[in-house]
Structure 1
Amino acid sequence: MRQKVFAGHALRRLREKLGLKQGELAHRLGVSPSYVNQMESNQRPLTASVLIAISRTFGVDITSFGAEDLDRLVADLREATADPLFRDLELSLQDLKAVTNLSPAFAHAFLRMHVALGRTAEWRASLDDMLTSGLGTADAKLVPYEEVRDYFHYIDNYVDPLDRAAEACAETLGILSGADPRAALTAYLRDRLRVEVEPLPLGRSASGGDEALSQFDPRARRLRLSPLLSPAAAAFQLGTTIARLEHKAMVDGLVANGGFRSATAGEICRLALHNYFAGALVLPYGRFLRLARTLRHDLDRLSHETGASLEQVCHRLSTLQRAGLKGVPFYFAKVDRAGNITKRHSATRFQFARLGGACAVWNVHQAFESPGRTLVQVGEMPDGVRYLCLARTVSAPVTRHDAPQRVYALGLGCEVSYADDMVYADGLDLKAAPVARLGVSCRICPRPDCDLRAFPPLDREIRTDPDNRAVVPFTFT
């Protein structure tokens, strides 16, 4: 059954933007003023006929009235309010939904304040370490990264103007229709943007750090690429340069409208948008969506057919959320051996922890025990939504003798309702298959019987029994 759309905040924002009173909006939509009042206060949902009337009358994309963004806000608020600071307030799920529905802007403001409060507490707790090891500056850089992650999180990881610009360029070059991406992009840079592409000698980067993979000289109009780059990685670097040179105004506008609180966050977002364009260029939306549907999202075949890396394929699948031409909604994550989530994107209701490590039951951790194999797991989050979870390891190339081997696990998943679109569900009895009981993180997970629990939830009272010892040495209310 389709979820009812309660989006009073979006309707009210549209009315205020148009400078209309409730009675005037009601007249334009052909409904009563009292009905508009009830919809804006979320006493009644927006029906299909009302959404169609809004779209036709005002030329508004009705997908902006969806509930997915609000679902994420509620989940994030639930995690934040699990903090012991709010324990005596006894905030219920209905309280959080009410706040989110009536004022999502306030919910965003609350989350920003809570993250800032948490960072302040961490800074105070580790002040001695920072003073002695000089980590204060590096620690502060985490906040802008999280701000950029939230920016993409709340737009379903889809940037329409950049995506369409990349697709138009790819159509011109014939990418995914026979042309070699690296050769086509190299010629495009040379002929259209007057940029020569040359090999980069092996050696340390200009800053003295690890092996340099690319260097761009804007004055000489020269891009140098390391021979260590795979063809897919080289094509990606070419794409980021095209984004930087040809779509600077568009990227600058997106960053300016992002409302970032620091110049650092804006610069990080600018790099992320360049990367987004590159991913959309080497895997153009329409062609890649059709191929993904035809191959039923077989990751290995998609990588083989497109020449893209497995990580590029997984990341691109998580961005196929264009209005009117949506793909399967996926979450995508990249996790290192320590359990740190280095990339996280989601067009689903699947939630990643904002603070702390990921759930130990999630199969991304098991992937390190079976390198090169695609693991399939049916997982259920505490809200009852079940997902088909895929996990697979990838390795970055070793650049020198004393360099460590960098191995990551990629996590990709969708709700089980899309199982028919997934080759990985073939032969899997979704009604009888074992279900992994997942959580966002131990700090907010309500499950009382998980043997892999690392520590108790913050919003529950802990109980210990000296006479009885179980795998987990405590229980909670």
Structure 2
Amino acid sequence: MTKVFMGVRLQRLREERSLTQAALARALGLSPSYLNQIERNQRPLTVPILLRIGSVLGVDPQIFSEHDSASLVADVRDVMGELPGSEGASLAELKMLVENMPGIARAILQLQRRYRMAAERAESLEAQFDSSDGNQASLTPSSDEEVRDYLNRRQNYIGELDEAAERIGANGADALRERLQRLHGVTVLAEPGGDVLLRKRRYDPQQHVLWVAASMNAGQQAFQMAALLGQLDHAQLIELLVDQAALSSEAARKGARLALSNYYAGAVLMPYAAFLQAAESSAYDIDLLAHQFGVGFEAVCHRLSTMQRPGASGLPVFFVRVDRAGNVSKRQSATAFHFSRVGGTCPLWIVYEAFSQPGRILRQIARMPDGSTHLWIARQVSTGPARFTAPSKSFALALGCDISQAHRLVYAKGLDLHDPSAATAIGTGCKVCERRDCPQRAFPSILPVSRMA
């Protein structure tokens, strides 16, 4: 474990509980001068002290984890790169800000997010007034980023929902249908009509009927049943989690409720302990796991990104879903890997090659500008039935892990994981990429010249 200097964060916890330095020192079995030095970052937080802090203050020691700090540092670094006159902020200064005052760092991100939304609204209004056809532009901002930030702060693991899902012991379509009927009086019916590409389920609370798209397979229908079951069985728990997330809008709260109910559905169909054992024994063979648990390739990738139970964690992975235009619709990381919020994604990334080879699992060893190297796999998937007038939805999924953990994946077979020349040099997006000699650069970097590689 590296030395952790987060004295301001500890001071904030103490002040929130109206404790003096002397009172907290007594409770922790430390001298007041020693605690004072910790709060002033003159001494690090050791593991024994972290455990005592967790017990005395009633907090999870994970709040001092560097996982969240690394992601925040990268996010704030991107934001600072967009602002004029911020070239003087060094990486060390940003790290000190994030580790000691994460609330201030998140406030900076929130301000940047609101500034970006305001700029987009202004552009929409300008386009509206300049438009000759009089069509109004949409001014509704997306709240996805806020929900993603909350899940990433939890390392994509929601233990309360995971443990509740394991307890029900019913993960097949028939068992879930029976549970909905017995506990909530809900009848599940297949809906043959409607736009099934846009609506996978429709619940009528007055008639207690859940309509699921008839075009979905049994596993997909079971997922929709389990998601509704989470909303009905654990409404209070989900609402408590949404409150704790401290989201800024009702749209974000609604998105969080949906994300949490879908999380519960995945945990029901792939119970944590059984899924982890199967994943480890199969060397994380996604197709094999999909067949064993009766779910799709994407559902397995999503579940793998949530396996962070304390004391029983799985392989730390990152998971991304993109469309052909480069829009990122899912982005989850169980590690400190950072997905840039600006500048798009890198065209040299293997995820885009997947569209030209549908059905195949592609592999790539990729090196980031900071020297970190990862093993990525990518595959194109389609959802929904295709019709002449309405093609199916098509996405590319990418799952990656740090190269030091790649040997645990079946997809590493035959690759030289230790050959530096085998890695493809990629970045987090043109506008925040430090590589000056990239042959695929689409936009000039917004980073200062001094930080360009």
Q: Fold conserved (TM > 0.5)?
A: yes
1:306 to 293, 296, 319: 293
Give how far 1:23 is off. Answer: 2.3
- Cα RMSD of the aligned pairs, angstroms, is 2.2
SS where residue 97 of structure 1 aligns? helix
CA deviations on 1:242-297 (whole Å, 9 max, x unpaired) are 01211111111111222122111111111111111111111111111111111111
In structure 2, the CA distance between the partners of 1:10 and 1:190, relative to structure 1 (3 Å rule), is: same
2:443 is aligned to: 455
Any conservation in 1 of the 2:276–2:314 contact (CA below 8 Å)? yes
Counterparts of 1:325-474 in structure 2, within 5 Å, are 325-432=312-419, 434-460=422-448
**How many Å separate the matches in 1 of 2:77 and 2:103?**
16
Any conservation in 2 of the 1:389–1:412 contact (CA below 8 Å)? yes
1:465 is aligned to: none
CA deviations on 1:68-96 (whole Å, 9 max, x unpaired) are 10111100000000014234x52111111
CA deviations on 1:153-212 (whole Å, 9 max, x unpaired) are 22211222112111212x2x2x4xxxxx1111111111222111112132347xxxx564
Any conservation in 2 of the 1:344–1:352 contact (CA below 8 Å)? yes
AA partner of residue 140 (structure 1): T
**How many Å separate the matches in 2 of 1:328 and 1:9?**
32
Question: Is 1:280 aligned to residue 270 of structure 2?
Answer: no
Identity of aligned residues (%): 40
**How many Å separate the matches in 2 of 1:199 and 1:35?**
65
**How many Å separate the matches in 2 of 1:164 and 1:33?**
40
SS where residue 329 of structure 1 aligns? coil
Q: TM-score with structure 2 length normalisation? A: 0.93
1:466 is aligned to: none
2:179 is aligned to: 188
Counterparts of 1:26-425 in structure 2, within 5 Å, are 26-58=25-57, 60-87=59-86, 89-131=87-129, 132=131, 134=135, 136-137=137-138, 139-142=139-142, 144-169=143-168, 171=169, 173=170, 175=171, 181-204=172-195, 212-425=199-412
**Of 419-428 and 3-12, the range deviating more from structure 2:** 3-12
Any conservation in 1 of the 2:227–2:262 contact (CA below 8 Å)? yes
Any conservation in 2 of the 1:328–1:418 contact (CA below 8 Å)? yes
Any conservation in 2 of the 1:202–1:211 contact (CA below 8 Å)? no
In structure 2, the CA distance between the partners of 1:236 and 1:346, relative to structure 1 (3 Å rule), is: same
SS where residue 379 of structure 2 aligns? strand
**How many Å separate the matches in 2 of 1:103 and 1:450?**
36
**How many Å separate the matches in 1 of 2:223 and 2:408?**
28
SS where residue 342 of structure 1 aligns? strand
**How many Å separate the matches in 2 of 1:233 and 1:93?**
45
Q: TM-score with structure 1 length normalisation? A: 0.88
In structure 2, the CA distance between the partners of 1:146 and 1:60, relative to structure 1 (3 Å rule), is: closer
AA partner of residue 411 (structure 1): A
Give how far 1:63 is off. Answer: 2.4
SS where residue 81 of structure 2 aligns? coil
Give how far 1:397 is off. Answer: 2.9
Give how far 1:476 is off. Answer: 7.0
AA partner of residue 124 (structure 1): A
How many residue pairs match? The answer is: 449
**How many Å separate the matches in 1 of 2:36 and 2:89?**
27
In structure 2, the CA distance between the partners of 1:385 and 1:35, relative to structure 1 (3 Å rule), is: farther
AA partner of residue 188 (structure 2): V
Give how far 1:399 is off. Answer: 4.4
SS where residue 252 of structure 2 aligns? helix
Give how far 1:11 is off. Answer: 2.3
SS where residue 51 of structure 1 aligns? helix
Structure 2: runs of 5+ lacking an equivalent: none
